Structure 1
Amino acid sequence: MFGNRLRELRKEKNLTMKELGKKFSLAESTISGYENGNRKPDSEIINAFADFFEVSTDYLYGRTDKRKIDNKTELPELTAKDERDILRDLEKIINNLESKDGLASFDGHTLDDMDEEDRELLIASLENSMRLAKRLAKQKYTPKKYRK
């Protein structure tokens, strides 16, 4: 499916395989291989094609017939107060995970028992999840008349 979609998009822009290859520093034979299904592009090239043709990678892969992702779902930005709230709540969660009495832990181990890299990854994951949750809540619960 990828090859057919790439060929279709290339032809819509009136580009030859050579011209498309030149835009991405690829040989004409590489583009031909992609279109014929003899070669598989890496994810970096697929993302570049999606950006160039202004389609989603799912469209290129044939997972959907919808060319673009609907940008109406853009999430609201966080305010300084939101950032402070997230950091305060994150600190509470970390303190709770660090205590032996808290949420107890992961297989009987507290946050202090983890090596530094795992600890940082867990904290970063929690922070990102909290940011996303806050943005989704703002989108869902902000009345339309107050949205930008």
Structure 2
Amino acid sequence: MDKDILRSRIIEQRKKRAWSQVEFAKRMNVGRSTVAMWETGDRVPDTPTIHRLAEIFDISADYLLGLSDNPSPVIKNVDDKDGLAFIDGETPLTEEEKEYLKESLELFRRMKAKREQQKP
């Protein structure tokens, strides 16, 4: 783990959301001084805290740690048979949920195609 990348990405993500150190500390349930130490590199968050940071920022822990340049969270639930992938959801989708999502996607595609046909 590169400590400089971690601290800079914490700063980047906090500022991206326009959070003060105090506001961010409240969201993390830590003191402002802890946030300041993370951001100066004087303290490195432990593994559970890195997981919490990734959740709060809605980014991957790999991105925070400098193991990836892609901040997108990792897809947790993939249904290969149907080709459906979702970022959240620890439990598998029901057949009814899958059908609803497929129908919604199909409706979206039809509406998009219609809008594109109407463009001058």
Aligning the two structures, in what range does the TM-score lie when normalised by the shorter sequence?
Answer: 0.5 to 0.7
Which letter does structure 1 place at the counterpart of 2:15? K
The aligned residue for residue 113 of structure 2 is none
Which letter does structure 2 place at the counterpart of 1:30? T
Q: Which has the larger radius of gyration?
A: 1
2:61 matched to 1:63? no
The aligned residue for residue 114 of structure 2 is none
The total of aligned residue pairs comes to 81
**CA RMSD for the aligned pairs?**
2.1
The aligned residue for residue 117 of structure 2 is none
Identity level (%): 28
Residues in 2 aligned to 1:65 and 1:56: alpha-carbon distance in whole angstroms: 10
Gaps of 5+ in 1: 77-138
Match of 2:11 among 7, 14, 38: 7
2:61 matched to 1:52? no
Which letter does structure 1 place at the counterpart of 2:60? S
Residues in 2 aligned to 1:34 and 1:70: alpha-carbon distance in whole angstroms: 24
Match of 1:74 among 54, 72, 77: 77
Shift of 1:12: 0.5
Shift of 1:4: 0.2
The TM-score with structure 1 as length reference comes to 0.49
Structure 1 or 2: more helix by fraction: 1
Residues in 1 aligned to 2:55 and 2:61: alpha-carbon distance in whole angstroms: 9
Distance 1:16 1:143, change over 3 A: closer
Q: Which runs of 4+ in 1 moved over 2 A?
A: 73-76
**Equivalent residues of 2:60, 2:71 under 8 A apart:** yes
Instruction: For residues 82-124 of structure 1, give each alpha carbon's deviation from its aligned partner in whole angstroms, at most 9, with x where no partner exists.
Output: xxxxxxxxxxxxxxxxxxxxxxxxxxxxxxxxxxxxxxxxxxx
Report matched runs for 1:1-148 at 5 Å: 1-69=5-73, 71=75, 74-76=77-79, 139=80, 142=81
Structure 1 or 2: more strand by fraction: 2
Gaps of 5+ in 2: 84-97, 103-120
